[in-house]
Amino acid sequence: MHSLASQVLAKFGKTSHVFRSCLMGKDDLFDEASAKFALHYAFQILLESLEISDDDLDELHRRTNSLSIQESDDWIRICGFKTWPGGIMTVPCMKTPTKISKSTFPVQRGMLIPARNSEGFISGLQIKPHTDAPNTEDSDGESVCSQTGSETVKKNPKYMWVSRNRSMKLPVGDPEQCGEDPLFVCRANRCSSNSAFLIEGGLKAYVFAQLAAHHRWAFNVIGASGGQHWKSKEELTWALAQMKVNKIILVPDAGAVQNHNVILNYFRTFDFLTNVLSIKVQVAWWGQYDKHDDLDGDDHLNGAVPGQFTSICISCLWDLVPCSTRDLFFGGRRGLEKLDLLNRVLDKIGRNRTGCSRC
């Protein structure tokens, strides 16, 4: 890696005019691996020019209050969380698999959250906007509309990709197919575990992984925007191979079993993991039925004594989905497709329920 880094740094140089020339696409890179490192390097330059606000520090400390202040500050520094003050941002992105480019556009004030791949390279940025307006987010992490009287009010999502069109594929995969959303891969230090935990969101993945490490649990954690791991098949496959994972534990958010869109995303991910990659999948459960009364996975670990959870199988997760949510799940024009998806997954795992605490 040191040799690759030396090549890329020599290619880009450290002066701003050389770096800008490369970002303008005037200079080809050596290969795809070098391009990914150069993209990471460009994001690093952007983040190193920024600070983190007291408000964002307070939020991160609150979400990890079982850590000491020093431990939390070290984690914040290593992860690279920063505050964007608002205004025009120049964002690096992949133009082709061997060349990076840039895009310049206004970005509102907020906390920047780097998305890192299994090699630790930054492949994209999310932002948690600072706003007093209520945030409403659907399962896809997209902005949603709500009716207020006769007016339709569009509300911003809680987290957004830093991109011109807010959901730009950076891309991680094939540019001709618009690529894939980056994942948030958090590898446990000195981890020899062959398991990985899948969790919704980027910041939540970082918090969950750090709290687990604090409690001396060696967890590999992979976060995905909106919990849509299935939309990043190429990057997910590569990350699992890099970490030699042969077992997945999904960590549902509180109230997930009552949201038909979330359940659909889970089963699309289950289908890919079980029927394509042939990986064993279990679900972490601590009774998180209700979105308002129960805790998400990161909050469940954030205490002097971390909360415990049991492992259940996919069939038992489906058993926990209420009838009203199932009706919505199968509703619409694609009901038969969803039924086929459900049957594919349940048929696959029905022959192997070992380790389930409910079966």
Q: Give the DSSP per-residue string, 129-176.
A: E--SSPP---TTS--EEEEETTEEEEE--SSEESSTTSS----SS-GG
Beta-bridge partner residues of 198: 222, 250
Residue 109 tokens read as 């004030």
Q: 329, 263 in Cβ contact below 8 A? A: yes
Q: Can you tell me the distance from the alpha carbon of 257 to that of 241, in angstroms, rounded to the nearest whole number?
A: 29
Question: At a CB cut-off of 8 Å and minimum separation 6, what does 20 contact?
Answer: none
Residue with tokens 């490369």: 22
Q: 155, 147 in Cβ contact below 8 A? A: no
| Low-confidence residues in the chain, pLDDT < 50 | 1-5, 7-8, 11-29, 133-153, 165-169, 171-175, 177
Nearest to 124 by CA among 8, 264, 223, 241: 223
In 118-134, which positions are buried (b, 16+ CB within 10 angstroms) versus exposed (e)? bbebbbbbbbbbbeeee
Query: In one letter, which amino acid is 341?
Result: L
pLDDT tens digits, one per residue of 154-168:
556 789 998 754 434
Q: Can you tell me the distance from the alpha carbon of 120 to that of 40, in angstroms, rounded to the nearest whole number?
A: 9
- Sketch the domain layout of the chain as residue ranges: 25-68+80-173, 183-353
Q: Can you tell me the distance from the alpha carbon of 254 to that of 167, in angstroms, rounded to the nearest whole number?
A: 25
pTM of structure? 0.83
pLDDT at 304: 61
Question: At a CB cut-off of 8 Å and minimum separation 6, what does 159 contact?
Answer: 113, 126, 127, 128, 137, 141, 201, 202, 203, 225
E runs forming strands in the chain: 82-84, 87-96, 99-107, 110-116, 122-129, 144-148, 151-155, 160-161, 184-186, 195-200, 220-224, 247-251, 280-285, 310-312
Q: What angle do CA 171, 175, 178 make, to 5 degrees?
A: 70
Residue with tokens 């509300």: 155
The CATH number assigned to the domain with range 183-353 reads 3.40.50
Residue 82 is given by DSSP the state E
DSSP helix/strand/coil, 33: helix
